């Protein structure tokens, strides 16, 4: 990410990244994610594009997450899609935070962390715990 992108608030999902983020931007996709979590766990990263702490947490997560992942990772720009963020809190029973990472399995949040507690290794370990 260039310093200009960082300062201008560009969406990191649009930047060159080792990640193939799936974009979460509507309630239908959220419902599909929750349903699909019965077949495989998913990660939702709630990100504020205007928050420096959120940008740093996302960048650190991307740097630390294994390069050859096959996981289902979703990125939510919560400023653009606040109704989706609110629905996550309601449907998964988690308190809204930003930045925030959640692991969803069998329709439930089995893990969530926010701010400096977001850790890629912990997220992946929980994601792959049966």
Residue-by-residue pLDDT tens, the chain, 130 positions: 333 344 334 444 444 456 789 999 999 999 999 999 999 999 999 999 999 999 999 999 999 998 777 889 999 999 999 999 999 999 999 999 999 999 999 999 999 999 999 999 999 999 988 7
CA atoms of 79 and 14, how far apart (whole Å): 16
- 38 C-beta neighbours (distance < 10 Å), count: 11
Rounded Cα gap, residues 23 and 32, in angstroms: 12
Query: What local confidence, expressed as pLDDT, does residue 17 receive?
Result: 56
CA distances from 13 to 37, 57, 61, 76, 85 (A): 22, 13, 13, 10, 17
- How do strand 100-105 and strand 72-77 relate by DSSP bridges? unpaired
pLDDT value at position 4? 32
The predicted structure's pLDDT at residue 99: 96
Backbone dihedral angles phi then psi of residue 111, each to the nearest 5 degrees: -165, 140
Predicted model pTM: 0.85
CA nearest to 25, candidates 97, 95, 79: 79
């Amino acid at each position: 990410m260039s310093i200009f992108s960082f300062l201008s608030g560009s969406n990191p999902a649009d930047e060159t990244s080792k990640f193939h983020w799936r974009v979460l931007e509507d309630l239908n996709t959220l419902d599909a994610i929750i349903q699909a979590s019965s077949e495989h766990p998913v990660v939702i990263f709630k990100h504020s594009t205007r928050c420096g702490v959120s940008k740093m947490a996302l960048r650190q997560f991307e740097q630390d997450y294994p390069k050859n992942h096959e996981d289902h990772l979703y990125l939510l720009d919560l400023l653009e899609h606040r109704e989706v963020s609110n629905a996550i809190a309601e449907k998964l029973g988690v308190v809204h935070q930003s930045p925030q990472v959640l692991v969803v399995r069998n329709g439930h949040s089995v893990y969530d962390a926010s701010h400096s507690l977001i850790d890629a290794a912990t997220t992946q370990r929980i994601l792959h715990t049966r």
